[in-house]
Chains A and B, each alone.
Chain A
Amino acid sequence: MTQIFAYIPHQGGVAADIALEYPAAAAKIDASSTLTAVVTGSGPDLDKVANGLTSIYKEVIKIDNAALAYPNAEVVRKALVNVLDASAIVFAPNDTFGMDLCPGLSIKMDSAYVADAVDFEGMEGSLLKVVRQELGGAVSTHVTCDTAAGAVITLRPGAFIPVEAGAAGGTIVDKSADAGDLAAKRRFLEIVEAEVGDVDITKSDVLVSVGRGIEEEENIEIAQELAEAMKAVVSCSRPIVDAKWLEKSRQVGTSGQTVKPKVYMAMGISGSFQHMGGIKGNPFIVAVNKNPKAPIFQVADVGIVQDILEFMPELTEKVKSM
């Protein structure tokens, strides 16, 4: 029987979606595993989250402390090290908080660490077989993780099928008293909200989205022309924003905008999970990429192996002539 602790991030009294995905992941490790939710925070919001989780988990550990009001990874790590059994498996999401928390947590718990698991293929003895991706999703790998002395594992959000919240009838165990000294060398100051851009890509039904395949700033024009012809809006992947060719508000992805268009034209975009994570609502995805092995072809509806710099102008001409 494997003991698994699932760390549940939350905001405004609402648990993150991954709370519903952990049970499926745990079952893939070991059908007889015991899965305990863990929440940290402070005050009524935390109680609200903990109560909600009792409909999904049989046991919910809550750690309430004013120092945990904002999820500062250093503080959360200290609390978890003091409360959790180090020989267990700890789940967290592979998001910006999990990435901040978990590598260090694995060191402090002296356990193994696997980041960004997308699937599990069971345990053999203490060896857990995990599926991951490398090189921006271009290749997958199997890794084994020796869980004998515990393991910290982050799960890719959306990779496991969510369960329905039901009536697990869970109990809440208050471990606030065990959190220990939570003084930190890193202090949270404030959240600076994203700037609003001139165009709201979240409102458009059709997006012509460009990635690094556009190659040069001047070529953005080519996408702009296609978008105009299609009465669409230009959005982009992150490298385009990093290069300052388009503003941040045009970026689709986990660290950019979440969009729900009807049609998404991915032009010269490889299809990393951080990019695809910003596309919701199951749009019709057209991918044009000169690499026939680009990962985007596994998630797109229609794939075209072409050079976008030649393909887009021709498509524009044709659309205009209609």
Chain B
Amino acid sequence: MEILVCVKRVPDTAENEFELNSAGNDLDRDDLVFSVNEWDNYAVEEAIQIVDNVGGSVTVVTVGDDESEEVLRREMAMGANNGVLLSDDAFEGSDGKGIASILKAEVEKGKYDLILTGAQADEGAGQIGGMLAAMLDLPYASLVNKIEAGDGKTVKVGREIEGGNQEMNEIDLPCVLSIQTGINEPRYVGIRGIRKVASVEIPVHSAADLGVDANVIGKDNAKVKRVDYFVPDLGEGAEMLEGSTEEIIDALIEKLKSKGGL
């Protein structure tokens, strides 16, 4: 099975306190810690396990800048066989449809049976897999939490639906699946693994290499554009308990008593 996995370098939500820049219209990006999108690690792990079982190869691809190469290397250290970086100034500011168009051009250069994406990434849109599938006219399933490789013509996949239930489907290959966390346990990547792939060459494909339609990529062609970031204002906000730990605990216990918590 030839498998392509789309991955992304994203700001790490566990490692960062997000602040706005002084203009108040963007994140303060100076000290942000980046990592591989959480969902993508599950997708790559799943691809590796499928290939371990039925043979084939795993290629990881990302649309990004030079720094995105590090996520390709990390996923290759996990066990992906190849990495491809899709990079061009013309890609900057693309909306979901633009990114999916760039990925489509790369998919068409190869011959893949299975294309995986993470269920969602930093923007929380969960859009790339479904868009890519529709552009390629391939069947799609989102939030996949189980894959049973079948006869090479179809796969059986479980989708996560509300309430912890699972929807089983049979899908014709080739197809696109977006992978939900929990489908497997992504393997640990040690420093040795990273070192092993440190000097592997990663091809970089530009807009011209890919032959991407210039009318769908970049900021000018994006139908959906981010205007600014702001700090959410959801409700009144919590009453913050302050003071020494002991004072906080005393105050908390009083509240818990009055609310039926103790």
By a beta-carbon cutoff of 8 Å, the part of chain A in contact with chain B is 72-74, 95-97, 99-108, 112-116, 129, 132-146, 149, 151, 184-195, 205-206, 212, 230, 232, 238-239, 241-244, 248-249, 251, 254-258, 262-263, 265, 270, 284-287, 291-293, 295, 297-306, 310-311, 314-315, 318-319, 322
Question: Chain B: which residue is nearest A153 at the CB level?
Answer: B224
Q: Which 4 A-B pairs have the closest CB atoms?
A: A103-B130, A303-B238, A194-B164, A263-B261
B79 at the interface (CB under 8 A from A): no
Question: Chain A: which residue is nearest B238 at the CB level?
Answer: A303
Q: How far is the CA of A196 from the CA of B238 in the complex (A)?
A: 34
Given contacts A114-B125, A141-B228, A295-B234, 15 further A-B contacts (CB under 8 A): A103-B96, A103-B127, A104-B130, A104-B140, A107-B131, A112-B224, A113-B131, A190-B167, A194-B163, A230-B261, A262-B260, A262-B261, A286-B252, A297-B237, A302-B255
Distance to closest chain B CB from A76 (angstroms) = 12
12 pairs of residues in contact across A and B, judged by CB atoms under 8 Å: A138-B18, A141-B226, A146-B224, A184-B139, A191-B165, A238-B181, A239-B181, A242-B182, A255-B160, A284-B259, A292-B17, A314-B246
- A138 and B13 contacting across the interface, CB-CB below 8 Å: yes
- B140 and A74 contacting across the interface, CB-CB below 8 Å: yes
Q: How far is the CA of A292 from the CA of B17 in the complex (A)?
A: 9
Distance to closest chain B CB from A146 (angstroms) = 4
Q: How far is the CA of A292 from the CA of B241 in the complex (A)?
A: 12
Query: B165 is contacted by which of A192, A205, A258, A287 (Cβ under 8 Å)?
Result: A192
Distance to closest chain A CB from B166 (angstroms) = 4
Interfacial chain B residues near A137, Cβ < 8 Å: 232
- B143 and A96 contacting across the interface, CB-CB below 8 Å: yes
Q: How far is the CA of A144 from the CA of B228 in the complex (A)?
A: 10
Which of B81-89, B106-114, B169-177, B207-215 participates in binding chain A? B169-177
Map CB proximity to A onto B122-157 as digits: 1 under 8 Å, 0 otherwise. 111111111101110011111100000000000010
User: How big is the B interface, by class?
Assistant: 35 or more
- A298 and B124 contacting across the interface, CB-CB below 8 Å: no
- A132 and B133 contacting across the interface, CB-CB below 8 Å: no
A-B contact count (CB 8 A): 267
- A238 and B182 contacting across the interface, CB-CB below 8 Å: yes
- A315 and B182 contacting across the interface, CB-CB below 8 Å: no
B253 at the interface (CB under 8 A from A): yes
Q: How far is the CA of A262 from the CA of B223 in the complex (A)?
A: 45
B202 at the interface (CB under 8 A from A): no
Q: How far is the CA of A42 from the CA of B150 in the complex (A)?
A: 30
- B139 and A186 contacting across the interface, CB-CB below 8 Å: yes
Distance to closest chain A CB from B171 (angstroms) = 5
B227 at the interface (CB under 8 A from A): yes
B195 at the interface (CB under 8 A from A): no
- B240 and A297 contacting across the interface, CB-CB below 8 Å: yes
> Are A192 and B227 also in contact (CB < 8 A) when A139-B18, A303-B241, A318-B253 are?
no
Interfacial chain B residues near A303, Cβ < 8 Å: 237-241
Query: A144 is contacted by which of B13, B129, B225, B261 (Cβ under 8 Å)?
Result: B225
Map CB proximity to A onto B211-249 as digits: 1 under 8 Å, 0 otherwise. 000000000000111111111111101111100011011
- B97 and A113 contacting across the interface, CB-CB below 8 Å: yes
> Are A284 and B255 also in contact (CB < 8 A) when A115-B126, A132-B124 are?
yes
Query: A189 is contacted by which of B95, B156, B162, B175 (Cβ under 8 Å)?
Result: B156
- A192 and B131 contacting across the interface, CB-CB below 8 Å: no
Q: How far is the CA of A258 from the CA of B262 in the complex (A)?
A: 22
Query: A322 is contacted by which of B159, B167, B171, B253 (Cβ under 8 Å)?
Result: B253
Q: How far is the CA of A99 from the CA of B167 in the complex (A)?
A: 14
Q: How far is the CA of A241 from the CA of B127 in the complex (A)?
A: 25
- A143 and B234 contacting across the interface, CB-CB below 8 Å: no
B193 at the interface (CB under 8 A from A): no
Interfacial chain A residues near B172, Cβ < 8 Å: 185-186
- B260 and A315 contacting across the interface, CB-CB below 8 Å: no
B168 at the interface (CB under 8 A from A): yes
- B130 and A263 contacting across the interface, CB-CB below 8 Å: no
Distance to closest chain B CB from A322 (angstroms) = 7
